[in-house]
Structure 1
């Protein structure tokens, strides 16, 4: 006799496939590395042209070039948190009585007291 869940699993409760999840992380990584490459190119252009507030722009680009790879690796290696089991579908149902097993012992009486001094 096999036990089955009383309710079918909703497809919306299923996690995303590992291949699709990995693809999403790869795309985010490539976008961040593209922004880093753009920071390098912009910094090179700024150094050659020396526009107003040149120092702040270069510092911003250098910070982007240093911080973005670190963030990209962290984000690419991070998996999404496991979703907590959805309890919303159980909120509107009446509570079912606990299952009884015919092989289980009867429940003890409430007025029974065990005294070690006797």
Structure 2
């Protein structure tokens, strides 16, 4: 039996698609993918990282997720950090996970986002 994660969904408030598009597509450089027509009327927006989809669903009782989070594994942590700071998005460095460099940030709705990179071993 094979099991893989197809997508992760987080909530955003109604009408948040444009802000989500700016953050996830323009800043984090994720690729927006069209929602199937049968689901498009629900609102929300979908993105792809290449091997995983991130679905942002509308929650009429939205409350930001400040603990549970999506973690993006990247190959240029400093580049992503610099890009976020250029757009005025705060980053919080964290060095507590052995084997990784990482930081936390928030999307425009207050949802926690982790960005991490494998720490290369020193020779």
Q: When the two structures are superposed, what TM-score results if normalisation uses the length of structure 1?
A: 0.18
Structure with the larger strand share: 2
TM-score by length of 2: 0.18
